[in-house]
Structure 1
């Protein structure tokens, strides 16, 4: 008679193999964790770099989706698509880039699932583990995560109040022989600063002279509240054959669409297409076609102008109240556009340590330390002004004053 299975000890199972070292080494986003912490009702959050949902053109987007899902075209909208993207959306992106002074054809454009995917595709295409990447300091946190997952060695380029210093860039490039420079030259995240035109031209010349790929990220460029537009680095002599320009519809249309784009030289674009085939085959067809219909039927520039008016008033409300809200001796900048103000508390303060007190007063911000490569500045913080009305911003600053008292 066979032994009872109930009395037979279960065989020990072997543990599955470990995660890749890069997955173990890269932590989650502190910004995302702060956003989760501040989602409870009543919190006034200056933490997230989010567009204001009440300003979305919901009616126009609903009409666009209705149009592409009606009649014979619905079958195309719900079907697989080409990796490069819907031709009409690529053409619309190219036309908008050309209107900004950068000659672009539809064949120069790859539609991506948000511009974040474009950055991921470029990292996978250009970087081997151990390759060197240069970044502004501080810089966009998700870019640092992306490069860390690629196994890159990230080196900061010194910056001042206007952005990266071209002489320092040239010296570090000659010494470290990096593969690429990642830069957000217009209304940078997290600092809100904008690189002047003369420095942009120097960056292009340095890249051409020393052999450097440029990844120019421009999610905020349409959100200018004062001053004149600066040409993209990609438009400067020397940058033509080595610049990947990333753009997004998230800040001007709606982030839930997850639509971005990548403009790059032909060989790099083709490599990114192959990488995208491996990642997701293609970006959502229905979302692409709805966005293309929207761009053809509605005046996006008029919509963006309304958004800019609202954001300008919100920026001004934040700037007007910071002096009373922050400790005496604090410093902050005045961005000409974008979503962020960058502040620095006086000696002896730690923005990260003070966040708990702020959340206890139902207000939040993002400490600046996670945005740095190398030694962080614990006194810094990022304040976003886009998601609250001027009245709410004033109330939030009153709460911040109490938290810092």
Structure 2
């Protein structure tokens, strides 16, 4: 079950550092921001408008007109979706959008929100901290491009006013941590296919007449193609200066997501050849995702299973009792008794004490990267450790099946 209703930016830690550094971003209200909110309300012909601030677990308001709003959990926020890109977010009828029809603010028992139009508020650091938006309890026709252009200009005015308090703009330091995090996580995935490629070629060189040669050649070719594709995707949809990775969402078949790992035969860390099979019961349905990033996540988990997991590796997909899509990678290995499962969800932690780096269930640096990519899709990531099997599960919200 997915308890979260919102995606999490890939660079969330860096984004929050930038938000907390804005000099004028306090809960003390001013007439200026109320006036901008009132202008947005009239522009969109909505009864409600506000300037939101998205923090780690909550959303609060720099200014609100048309309603009384207190700080609320991010599960009740639409603006957590708005900050995922530089583009405006317009939803003419929230109840008809697969992303929001079960949202607490939309579903039966809530306030019955229907129309939403908002623009992200982008700091000079490049990070998005919230939105300027309008809300209504009845559907609207989509606003014109001219209307949204004016709303975007009003949003820039909000940012300018916030960063100009106090009168002299605060100096925003270059976030080296964000760059380091981004480079470490993505760099790991750039190196992993190369490792597999070189390992396969070394085995081919040592055993030129081996019956495994054709499969090793095919696996090496797949790794090379994957590496080239990943580099192109990273360049096109990332910004290393802010540590951000954006989604290129599109409809695809779930079976296509396993194409890169299907029928691979690869050498593990000990040189033993291992095969990857797709489960015969795997669901094949349309899904709306960034296929490149989901493939990266599945590839990371599969390669970790090859390097550190058991001999039998299987991938597949299905749905849970709530209709959420589950993509999984299972291997027949057991997690070491030294591995602290909770620690495996923290960036750059392999598990437990530094002296016990054995992760025979197929876990490693690929896990925090996978978690970030899954959360970027609004999903959850889970590892199930059983006596004779370790399963890594990517769980994506049901609306991604409906939107396809």
Q: TM-score range by the shorter chain?
A: under 0.3
Structure number with higher strand proportion: 2
- Higher RCO, Cα 8 Å, sep 6+: 1
Structure number with higher helix proportion: 1
